[in-house]
A = this chain, B = another copy of it.
Amino acid sequence: MNQTNATRVGIDWGTSNRRAYVLDDRGEIVRHHSDDQGILQVTRGGYVSSLWELLQRLEVQEADVVMCGMVGSRNGWQEAPYLGIEQPLTTLRDAMMEVESGLPGVRCRIVPGYAYTDPQGMPDVMRGEETQVLGALALSAANGWFLHPGTHSKWVRVEEGCMQQFATFMTGELYALMSEHGTLSKVMAQRESVPEAFAAGVRASEHGGFTHLAFCCRALVVTDRMPPEHTASYLSGLLIGAEVHDILRRPETRIEAPVQVIGSPTLTSRYMSALELLNVPARAWQPDSVFHAALRALFNLEP
């Protein structure tokens, strides 16, 4: 293949969705596309045709494709082995795994994720957020904690280009499970955001474990201390608060720089509120800009 004619394409290919960007020679975004063709929608042997359709849509023929996220998981296109956190984030560029697409003129690489085992021996894994952290660092983000809200919300502590630790929380997934099924779902028909209920949930999260406080949420309604339409926001506050307190309680945690939040505007604003309530400084990053910066780093394009 003629590498010099290849167009650079970066894809964040997650569980439910994917977003793709075409970069010109100077590294500027010239086209982008996002859809719901996450790995759950792609059959085992369907990745080549799914990618081909995506490239068609992006009007790209020969391409140098870099992908991150769950596409590199066991349930994705091909498993890219995890790196250990002793590998600096700049390693990602060289650690990308080649995948044979069979498409003429298309080179395809997957960014590996990271695995980490905490001092208690508990493992944790990440696929996709490492690329966002790389991008934020390329944009001169300070050392300290990075936060990626989502279905599986992740907190990452970075010092001198290396992750020191990270921790994932099932926040978004538990919120969805409890909103759609179970005893709280019955009073959660109304889902509009109620800031004071969210704040009450965040504050309550300090007092005890989530599995107890989730029942107290029900008790607040049953004893007429909270209107049913506040339940969704309160539960969201409880879950997000549980994350923040888990991090703050770790003996090694010192928040010396603002927590850097990289996520969708809705989730990010919710987390920013919670962090403010708990007196944790924070700043929000625009995820598209961060991913763009990551792609420039992965394609070795100077800013």
Please report A residues at the B interface, Cβ cutoff 8 Å. 73-74, 82, 115, 118, 120, 122-125, 152, 167-171, 173-174, 176-178, 180-183, 204, 207-216, 219-220, 222-223, 225, 239, 242-243, 245-246
Contacts and interface: CB of A to CB of B under 8 A. Distances in A.
A125 B211 contact: no
Number of copies: 2
Contact of A213 (B122, B180, B214, B243): B122
A215 B177 contact: no
Given A122-B207, A171-B211, 9 more contacts: A73-B222, A123-B225, A152-B215, A174-B174, A177-B177, A181-B181, A209-B209, A209-B243, A211-B242
Contacts of A74: 222
A124 B209 contact: no
B215 A246 contact: no
B182 A173 contact: yes
Nearest to A245: B209
A223 B44 CA distance: 20
Contact of A211 (B169, B176, B222, B223): B169
- Chain A interface helix/strand/loop/mixed: helix
Contacts of A82: 223
Contacts of A125: 219, 222-223
Nearest to A206: B120
30 contacts: A73-B222, A115-B219, A115-B223, A118-B207, A123-B216, A124-B216, A124-B219, A125-B222, A125-B223, A152-B215, A167-B212, A168-B212, A168-B215, A168-B219, A169-B209, A170-B212, A170-B215, A171-B211, A173-B182, A173-B183, A174-B214, A180-B181, A208-B246, A209-B209, A209-B210, A209-B242, A210-B242, A211-B239, A211-B243, A212-B243
A212 B169 CA distance: 4
Residue from A210, A212, A216 having most chain B Cβ neighbours under 10 A: A212
A49 B204 CA distance: 43
